[in-house]
């Protein structure tokens, strides 16, 4: 009798936790709660930087100098970002920052829900990412939405919806350059010339669109200043303990070996190129999803402008990877390692002494993602996805229309 009761109770709890509604409530609560906490603690400096990109654009003030009377640090986002932040910048700070976090979270939640995997796997991905999401939200970061835009570009291209896919890429490209990785999915597109035409048209539109807040001369100068600010930030980050939590940041801090990040980008791009040359594998949905995981992790691991909140991008890749691979002691251990060291290490759930004495100085937050990246690279380069039955996990669901092949 007691066993029946416990089984019934366990089933109800499991059903509640795996409910889409529960997940949505959890995500929105994290978004609103973290924003309110940071507002009350006067810890919304990132949001103030974002907000003033809009006001500085309207006033034709340079976007990239420091404005110590308004916020600390300086802006490193593209001129187009002023258009995105505009609706929030017009609100009082308490409302703007809460809605900003909700907007970012909604984009990511929607993007994950569009992934061509089963509903159960989408829920697993959302739960795995939840704590890393909180880390990003506490910094009021835009990386949450950028992750969503990259995933959406993949999902829309899977459905051959070229216009929204390209817009998703541009939203990431013209704010933080990250959206450019969406071009890795070009090889999976059926109508390549139509995509190129769409890409060029939307690219030109996004280039000039910030002028609606200022003028074209201001925008051209802003693009030049943006480039210079990124060069300076890259130089600064390579000597910072708070930034450059990347593959080569990890190597530099643990071995003293200094490697130019461009070499890392080149190596990652060459490996991806070889993987994409495996044309016969393109028909496999699991292969295409693994490619998405690869670029999400590359975006963080081969990037000097990476801080702890940026890892939401990589962790979505980790979560998707885990739903694709066989569940065995090796893959489960890698996931647990990533949750403990990558996700939990910046939080109070992790021993402070270990965090301050080992994790931060040696960029250990990157280590689990590095190991998972090697696993993903091996799979996209050598695994035969055509023998896998995992594609049917998604395609066998009712009401699914596959538009690709």
Do the Cβ atoms of 248 and 300 come closer than 8 Å?
no
User: Is there a domain that residue 13 lies in?
Assistant: no
Average pLDDT over every residue of 163-175:
96
* Same domain, residue pair 228 and 350: no
User: Is there a domain that residue 9 lies in?
Assistant: no
The fraction of the chain above a pLDDT of 90, given in percent, is 78
Do the Cβ atoms of 274 and 396 come closer than 8 Å?
no
* Same domain, residue pair 262 and 249: yes
Determine the pLDDT at residue 233: 78
* Same domain, residue pair 233 and 246: no
Average pLDDT over every residue of 14-24:
89
* Same domain, residue pair 219 and 304: no
Q: With 90 as the cut, is the pLDDT of residue 10 above it?
A: no
Tokens of 332: 């489960």
Q: How far is CA 405 from CA 12, 26, 311, 382, in A?
A: 40, 37, 34, 23
Determine the pLDDT at residue 396: 45
Considering only 32-46, 149-163, 298-312, which range has the smallest mean pLDDT? Answer: 298-312
Determine the pLDDT at residue 124: 97
Determine the pLDDT at residue 390: 52
User: How many of the other CB atoms lie within 10 Å of CB of 211?
Assistant: 17
Domain boundary among 208, 237, 266: 237
* Same domain, residue pair 302 and 380: yes
* Same domain, residue pair 232 and 252: no
User: Is there a domain that residue 82 lies in?
Assistant: yes
Per the structure, how many domains does the chain have? 2
In angstroms, the first-to-last Cα distance of the chain is: 52
Q: How far is CA 243 from CA 23, 234, 236, 280, in A?
A: 31, 10, 9, 39
Q: What is the per-residue DSSP string for 279-330?
A: GGGGG-HHHHHHHHHHHHHHHHHT-SS--GGGHHHHHHHHHHHHHHS--SHH
Domain boundary among 237, 268, 302: 237
Q: What is the per-residue DSSP string for 124-156?
A: HHHHHHHHHHHHHHHTT-SHHHHHHHHHHHHHH
- Average pLDDT for the chain: 90
User: Is there a domain that residue 385 lies in?
Assistant: yes
60: alpha, beta or left? (left if phi > 0; alpha if psi -120 to 50): left
Do the Cβ atoms of 168 and 180 come closer than 8 Å?
no
Cβ-Cβ contacts under 8 Å for 142 (sequence gap 6 or more): 50, 77, 81, 104, 175, 176
* Same domain, residue pair 158 and 25: yes
Q: What is the DSSP letter of 261?
A: H
Task: Characterize 160-182 residue by residue with b for buried, 16 or more Cβ atoms within 10 angstroms of its Cβ, and e for exposed.
Answer: eebeebbbbbbbbbbbbbbbebb
- Per-residue model confidence as pLDDT tens digits over 108-155: 999 999 999 999 999 999 999 999 999 999 999 899 999 999 999 999
Q: Report the alpha-carbon distance of residue 93 to residue 134 in Å, rounded.
A: 20
Domain boundary among 237, 270, 293: 237
Nearest CA to 142 out of 167, 114, 113, 174 is that of: 174
* Same domain, residue pair 104 and 38: yes
User: Is there a domain that residue 404 lies in?
Assistant: no
* Same domain, residue pair 65 and 94: yes
Q: How far is CA 360 from CA 97, 153, 195, 299, 309, in A?
A: 28, 33, 43, 20, 13
Q: Note if the pTM is more than 0.85.
A: yes
- The percent of the chain in helix, strand and coil, each rounded to the nearest 5, is 75, 0, 25
- Per-residue model confidence as pLDDT tens digits over 283-340: 999 999 999 999 999 999 998 888 899 999 999 999 999 999 999 999 999 999 999 9
- Per-residue model confidence as pLDDT tens digits over 347-405: 888 899 999 999 999 999 999 999 999 999 999 999 999 876 555 444 444 344 444 43
Q: With 70 as the cut, is the pLDDT of residue 224 above it?
A: yes
Q: What is the DSSP letter of 186?
A: G
Nearest CA to 178 out of 144, 218, 137 is that of: 144
User: Is there a domain that residue 1 lies in?
Assistant: no
* Same domain, residue pair 145 and 72: yes
Residue 296 is part of which domain span?
Answer: 240-398
User: Is there a domain that residue 195 lies in?
Assistant: yes
Q: With 70 as the cut, is the pLDDT of residue 2 above it?
A: no
Task: Characterize 250-286 residue by residue with b for buried, 16 or more Cβ atoms within 10 angstroms of its Cβ, and e for exposed.
Answer: bbbbeeeeeeebeebeeebeebbeebbebeebbebbb
* Same domain, residue pair 66 and 128: yes
Q: With 60 as the cut, is the pLDDT of residue 185 above it?
A: yes
User: Is there a domain that residue 4 lies in?
Assistant: no
Q: Report the alpha-carbon distance of residue 312 to residue 314 in Å, rounded.
A: 6
* Same domain, residue pair 75 and 171: yes
The fraction of the chain above a pLDDT of 70, given in percent, is 90
């Amino acid at each position: 009798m007691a066993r029946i009761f416990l089984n019934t109770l366990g089933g109800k709890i499991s059903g509640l936790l795996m409910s889409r509604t529960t997940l949505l409530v959890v995500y929105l609560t994290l978004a609103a709660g973290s924003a309110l906490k940071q507002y009350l603690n006067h810890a919304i400096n990132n949001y103030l930087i974002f907000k003033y990109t809009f006001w500085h654009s309207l006033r034709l003030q340079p976007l990239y100098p420091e404005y110590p009377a308004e916020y600390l640090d300086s802006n490193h986002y593209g001129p187009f970002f002023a258009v995105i932040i505009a609706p929030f910048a017009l609100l009082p700070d308490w409302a703007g920052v809460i809605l900003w976090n909700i907007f970012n979270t909604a984009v990511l939640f929607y993007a994950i829900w569009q992934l061509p995997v089963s509903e159960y796997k989408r829920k697993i991905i959302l739960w795995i990412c939840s704590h890393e999401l909180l880390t990003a939200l506490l910094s009021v970061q835009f990386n949450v939405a950028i992750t969503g835009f990259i995933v959406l570009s993949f999902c829309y291209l899977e459905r051959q919806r070229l216009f929204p896919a390209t817009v998703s890429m541009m939203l990431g490209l013209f704010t933080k350059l990250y959206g450019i990785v969406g071009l890795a999915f070009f090889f999976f597109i059926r109508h390549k010339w139509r995509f190129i035409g769409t890409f060029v048209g939307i690219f030109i539109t996004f280039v000039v669109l910030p002028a609606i807040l200022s003028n074209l001369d201001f925008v051209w100068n802003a693009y030049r200043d943006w480039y210079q600010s990124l060069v300076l930030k890259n130089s600064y980050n390579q000597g910072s303990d708070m930034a450059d939590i990347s593959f080569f940041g990890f190597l530099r801090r643990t071995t003293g070996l200094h490697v130019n990040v461009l070499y890392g980008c080149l190596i990652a791009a060459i490996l991806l190129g070889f993987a994409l040359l495996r044309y016969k594998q393109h028909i496999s949905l699991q292969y295409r999803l693994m490619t998405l995981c690869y670029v999400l992790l590359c975006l963080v691991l081969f990037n000097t402008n990476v801080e702890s909140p940026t890892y939401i991008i990589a962790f979505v890749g980790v979560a998707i990877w885990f739903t694709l691979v066989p569940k065995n002691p090796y893959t489960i251990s890698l996931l647990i390692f990533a949750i403990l060291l990558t996700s939990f290490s910046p939080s109070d759930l992790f021993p402070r002494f270990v965090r301050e004495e080992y994790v931060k100085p040696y960029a250990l937050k990157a280590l689990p993602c590095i190991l998972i990246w090697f696993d993903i690279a091996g799979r996209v380069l050598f695994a035969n996805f055509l023998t896998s039955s995992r594609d049917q996990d998604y395609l066998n669901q009712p009401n699914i229309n596959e538009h690709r092949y």
